């Protein structure tokens, strides 16, 4: 593996190509050549691609799945390995129990979580349980993708918690996926044609065994009036937008008077209102006497 962009137009041999959502055995082969594991664990093995490739390469592999009785949310991994591999469901794009396998939905099926937040919480538990089964210096490998719903992007690789020290993020191009044969009359956004391979490592130092590095992204709603680095252009423009893009000078003053930058200038006796007027004159448009708007929105 000599590049961070991976492409496998031919699927390769291993697992069941009819199993929806299965990955290319060539990916597993290249990962194992790179990371050189001696014991692989795959607790969500699907049709068994990981195990088939490991067997062909002479590598010990324990694999199991919910459909064969192992529940990653509740059961203990039976041994330690130096590579734990996850190919997650991409939220509920493909629902597995009662669909791909079994006659009824399973309550702990990760592809049947009631909402995105629940899915993330449960996947974090699954990944953490996998991390626990790593030997020092071992790698946690997660193959995942993005989900797009009603114009909103749900970036799984960013929203997951990453356990261990980050090693690499790989981009895997998708080929021969089921959705390629579908027609979407309302689709206007680019079609997602790639996945991500997240690789993290458990530290080798025994002395730090109780400590785990956890990286996560957070979705924050921040009141920009508390952001001291917002530019003056941004302050005035945001005030106009908050007013429906039409505001008198006094209305704009009222909108920005509690901004962190304004409060700072008031303590030094600086005339912040003069700055607001300058921004309006330089970047905005007077739509009538004493009333301002952003010019790109003026008819």
Name the segment(s) of the chain with CATH classification 3.40.50. 5-215
Instruction: Please list, residue by residue across 21-55, b when 16 or more beta carbons sit within 10 angstroms of its beta carbon and e when fewer do.
Output: bbbbbbbbbbbbeebebebbbbbbbbbbbbbbbbe
Name the segment(s) of the chain with CATH classification 1.10.10.10. 224-297
| Beta-carbon count within 10 A of 18 CB | 8
What's the pLDDT at 71?
97
pLDDT tens, residue by residue, 211-246? 899 999 888 899 999 999 999 999 999 999 999 999
What's the pLDDT at 17?
87
- Report whether pLDDT(200) > 70: yes
State the Cα–Cα distance between residues 250 and 227, nearest whole angstrom. 22
Whole-number mean pLDDT of the chain? 92
pLDDT tens, residue by residue, 256-284? 999 999 999 999 999 999 999 999 999 99
CA nearest to 131, candidates 169, 77, 60, 75: 77
Query: Percentage of the chain with pLDDT > 70?
Result: 95
How many residues in the chain? 299
What global pTM score does this model have? 0.85
What's the pLDDT at 184?
45
Which fold is adopted by the domain 5-215?
Rossmann fold (3.40.50)
- 169 forms bridges with which residues in the sheet? 198
Structure tokens belonging to residue 126: 């699954």
Domain made up of 224-297: CATH architecture: Orthogonal Bundle (1.10)
What's the pLDDT at 139?
98
| Residue 221, SS3 per DSSP | coil
Residue 51 and residue 108 in contact, taking contact as beta carbons nearer than 8 Å: no
What's the pLDDT at 219?
83
Q: Residues 6 or more apart from 278 whose CB is under 8 A from it?
A: none
Residue 151 and residue 189 in contact, taking contact as beta carbons nearer than 8 Å: yes
Complete DSSP assignment for 161-195: PEESEEEEEEEEE--S-GGGG---TT--SPPP-EE
- Report whether pLDDT(185) > 50: no
């Amino acid at each position: 593996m000599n590049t961070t962009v991976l492409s496998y137009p031919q699927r390769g041999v291993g697992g069941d190509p009819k199993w929806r959502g299965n990955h290319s055995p060539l990916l597993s082969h290249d990962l194992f050549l790179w990371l050189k594991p001696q014991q692989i664990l795959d607790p969500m093995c699907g049709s068994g691609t990981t195990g088939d490739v490991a067997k062909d390469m002479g590598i010990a592999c324990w694999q199991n799945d919910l459909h064969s009785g192992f529940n990653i949310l509740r059961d203990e991994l039976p041994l330690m390995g130096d590579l734990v591999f996850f190919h997650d469901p991409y939220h509920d794009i493909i629902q597995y129990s009662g669909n791909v396998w079994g006659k009824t939905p399973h309550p702990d099926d990760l592809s049947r979580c009631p909402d995105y937040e629940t899915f993330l919480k449960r996947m974090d538990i699954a990944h953490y349980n996998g991390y626990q089964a790593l030997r020092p210096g071992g790698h946690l490998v997660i193959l995942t993708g993005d989900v797009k719903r009603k114009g909103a992007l749900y970036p799984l690789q960013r929203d997951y918690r990453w356990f261990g020290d980050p090693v690499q993020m790989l981009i895997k191009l998708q080929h021969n996926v089921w959705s390629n044969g579908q027609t979407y009359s309302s689709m206007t956004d680019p079609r997602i044609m790639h996945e991500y391979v997240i690789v993290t490592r458990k530290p080798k130092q025994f002395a730090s065994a109780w400590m785990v590095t956890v990286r996560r992204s957070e979705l924050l709603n921040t009141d920009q009036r508390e952001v001291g680095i917002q530019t003056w252009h941004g302050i005035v423009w945001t005030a106009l937008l908050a007013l429906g893009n039409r505001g008198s000078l006094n209305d704009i003053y009222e909108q920005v008077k509690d901004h962190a930058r304004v409060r700072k200038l008031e303590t030094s006796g600086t005339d912040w209102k003069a700055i607001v007027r300058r921004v309006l004159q330089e970047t905005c448009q007077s739509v009538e006497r004493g009333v301002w708007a952003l010019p790109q929105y003026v008819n």
